């Protein structure tokens, strides 16, 4: 008896989603930058939305609690929805500093914020459903693709700090299943105004009233992972504080990654209506997306340490604000010197929105900077400064706007970075 063994084709076939999904453009750029650094080049890497732990360490009390949790053998499976101690601590933290009045049944814990976002999409959105989100914004295009959703992009403008208006959303809301907002916004570091958020909430409530019972409502995914990092007179606003009726339709994304420089600790949480959160818990349980028990127990104890939390937040806000302000002043000086650059005054998060309007300019060796990719490469090669173009966040490939991230930047480096940029600009004609 002979057995015929099929010869694999040269190109294996995978799912349509897998075939067409793109990796993170930001991480790809960061790898390219790190490769240059490994080869000995001195690069100012202002790309990735992360922290250098040597500059921005996690809270000392949190570190001690993590070590203690491992020493106490807190290493078995946690409950899929998160340990009760942490869900209680999250409620305490949000009530004290945010004014939220959530119960533990409205909270689910995951390994950072990304699984929360994915679970919201998979819990709310059926294939073919419509999702509305502004561009630039972080990764909504990819999560919509993973959910086989129809995407409607709201193209935002610098004049409105790259935030959507209610009028932008109104024309599409009747076909929407979910609206995705982020404030403070990654990549811009800007925030929604109270008036704009109220108008958007009223649109959602009006549409859900029109749909009536028995139909899927319009949900709002509200990413506020940076809410604790606001500066100056900037205030963070949220849907349910402005319109309590939004509590039935709002899914929040939050965690310790940004406010406590704990990106690698991987503790995030979502909040929302109990029925939706319960379905997310089931989905996340199958994904195994829970945060590690030691980190959960440590975070629970840390968030109950009010003094340690307050001291750390005050310190990190000042350090980030100092860097953002220094860069903003530097870009305004470059603008006054006649270079085609600009920046939006810092409001929140760890990002500054900057403009490099260099399209069409010529380098010293006669090359025309025709595209945003040309400009990005020129700045990296000539100024040794790495920035992320807004095109990596769904914006136009020819946008002249960039995200500048300060989480890996020493304050004493700002002057050198601005000087490098100035010298690079001087070589253009």
Q: pLDDT digits over 197-229, tens only?
A: 999 999 999 999 999 888 999 999 999 999 999
Alpha carbon separation from 370 to 41, 53, 298, 367 (Å, rounded): 26, 37, 51, 9
What is the per-residue burial (b if ≥16 Cβ within 10 Å, else e) of 21-60? eeeebbeebbeebeebeeeeeebbbbbbbbbeeebbbbbe
Q: pLDDT digits over 331-388, tens only?
A: 999 999 999 999 999 999 999 999 999 999 999 998 999 999 999 999 999 999 999 9
Q: Are 385 and 405 in contact (CB under 8 A)?
A: no
pLDDT at 71 over 70: yes
Q: pLDDT digits over 283-311, tens only?
A: 999 999 999 999 999 999 999 999 999 99
Query: What's the pLDDT at 81?
Result: 95
State the Cα–Cα distance between residues 168 and 379, nearest whole angstrom.
Answer: 34
Q: pLDDT digits over 17-59, tens only?
A: 888 777 766 777 777 787 877 888 888 999 989 999 999 999 9
Question: Which band of pLDDT confidence, cut at 50, 70 and 90, is reported for residue 7?
Answer: low
pLDDT at 3 over 80: no
Q: Are 74 and 297 in contact (CB under 8 A)?
A: yes
Q: What percent of the chain has pLDDT over 70?
A: 97
Strands in 401-405's sheet, in edge-to-edge order, are 341-343, 351-356, 401-405, 388-389
Query: What's the pLDDT at 371?
Result: 93
Question: Which band of pLDDT confidence, cut at 50, 70 and 90, is reported for residue 8?
Answer: low
| Averaged confidence pLDDT in the chain | 93
Query: What's the pLDDT at 64?
Result: 98
Q: Is 71 helix (H, G, I), strand (E, B) or coil?
A: helix
State the Cα–Cα distance between residues 277 and 11, nearest whole angstrom.
Answer: 41
Q: Are 184 and 347 in contact (CB under 8 A)?
A: yes
Query: What's the pLDDT at 405?
Result: 97
Query: What's the pLDDT at 32?
Result: 77
The DSSP code sequence of 83-152 is -HHHHHHHHHHHHHHH-----GGGEEEESSSHHHHHHHHHHHPPTT-EEEEEES-SSHHHHHHHTTPEEE
Return the DSSP state at 224. Answer: -
Q: Is 411 helix (H, G, I), strand (E, B) or coil?
A: helix
Length of the chain: 429
Q: Is 414 helix (H, G, I), strand (E, B) or coil?
A: helix
Q: pLDDT digits over 377-409, tens only?
A: 999 999 999 999 999 898 888 899 999 999 999
Alpha carbon separation from 271 to 78, 221, 381 (Å, rounded): 19, 10, 44
Strand partners, 154: 134
Helix ranges (DSSP H) in 212-242: 239-242
Query: What's the pLDDT at 212?
Result: 82
Which domains, and CATH codes, for the chain?
16-56+313-426 (3.90.1150.10), 60-310 (3.40.640.10)
Query: What's the pLDDT at 11?
Result: 78
State the Cα–Cα distance between residues 200 and 197, nearest whole angstrom.
Answer: 5
pLDDT at 107 over 80: yes
Q: What is the dihedral of CA 164, 135, 239, 236, to 10 degrees?
A: -90
pLDDT at 1 over 70: no
Q: pLDDT digits over 225-254, tens only?
A: 999 999 999 999 999 999 999 999 999 999
pLDDT at 66 over 60: yes
Query: What's the pLDDT at 142?
Result: 87
Query: What's the pLDDT at 323?
Result: 98
Question: Which band of pLDDT confidence, cut at 50, 70 and 90, is reported for residue 416?
Answer: very high
Q: Classify burial at 99, counting beta carbons within 10 Å of its beta carbon; exposed 0-12, middle 13-18, buried 19 or more.
A: exposed
Nearest Cα to 277, choosing from 125, 104, 140?
A: 104
Tokens, residue 43: 């690069």
Query: What's the pLDDT at 277?
Result: 97
Question: Which band of pLDDT confidence, cut at 50, 70 and 90, is reported for residue 4?
Answer: low
Nearest Cα to 46, choosing from 427, 304, 420?
A: 420
State the Cα–Cα distance between residues 109 and 113, nearest whole angstrom.
Answer: 9
Give the mean pLDDT of 175-183: 97
Query: What's the pLDDT at 21?
Result: 76
**Residue whose pair of structure tokens reads 């935002």 in the numeric block:** 156
């Amino acid at each position: 008896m002979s057995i015929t063994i099929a010869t694999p084709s040269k190109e294996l076939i995978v799912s349509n989603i897998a075939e067409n999904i793109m990796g993170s453009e930001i991480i790809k750029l960061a790898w390219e930058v790190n490769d240059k650094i490994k080869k000995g080049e001195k690069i100012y890497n202002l790309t990735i939305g992360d922290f250098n732990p040597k500059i921005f360490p996690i809270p000392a009390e949190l570190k001690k609690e993590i070590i203690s949790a491992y020493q106490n053998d807190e290493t078995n499976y946690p409950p899929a929805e998160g340990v009760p101690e942490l869900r209680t601590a999250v409620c305490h933290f949000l009530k004290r500093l945010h004014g939220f009045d959530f119960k533990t049944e409205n909270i689910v814990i995951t390994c950072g914020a990304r699984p929360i976002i994915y679970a919201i999409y998979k819990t709310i959105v059926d294939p073919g459903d419509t999702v509305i989100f502004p561009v630039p914004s972080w990764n909504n295009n990819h999560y919509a693709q993973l959910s086989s959703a129809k995407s409607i992009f709201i193209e935002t403008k610098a004049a409105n700090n790259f935030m959507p208006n209610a009028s932008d959303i109104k024309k599409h809301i009747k076909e929407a299943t979910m609206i995705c907002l982020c404030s403070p916004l990654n990549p811009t570091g800007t925030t929604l105004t109270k008036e704009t958020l109220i108008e958007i909430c009223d649109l959602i409530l009006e549409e859900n009233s029109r749909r009536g019972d028995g139909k899927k409502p319009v949900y709002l995914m509200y990413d506020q992972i940076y809410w604790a990092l606001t500066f100056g007179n900037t205030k963070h606003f949220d849907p349910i504080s402005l319109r309590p009726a939004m509590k039935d339709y709002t899914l929040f994304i939050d965690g310790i990654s940004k406010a406590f420089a704990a990106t690698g600790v991987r503790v995030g949480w979502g909040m929302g209506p109990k029925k939706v959160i319960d379905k997310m818990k089931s989905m996340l349980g199958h994904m195994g997306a829970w945060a590690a028990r030691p980190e959960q127990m440590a975070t629970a104890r840390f968030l109950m340490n009010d003094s340690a939390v307050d001291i750390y937040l005050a310190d990190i806000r000042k350090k980030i604000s100092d860097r953002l302000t220094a860069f903003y002043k530097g870009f305004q000086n470059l603008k006054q010197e006649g270079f085609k650059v600009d920046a939006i005054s810092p409001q929140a998060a760890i990002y500054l929105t900057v403009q490099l309007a260099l399209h069409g300019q010529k380098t010293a060796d006669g090359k025309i900077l025709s595209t945003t990719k040309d400009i990005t490469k020129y700045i990296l090669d000539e100024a040794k400064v790495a920035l992320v173009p807004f095109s990596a966040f769904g914006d136009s490939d020819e946008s002249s706007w960039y995200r500048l991230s300060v989480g890996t930047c020493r304050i004493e480096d700002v002057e050198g970075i601005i000087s490098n940029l100035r010298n690079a600009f001087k070589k253009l004609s």
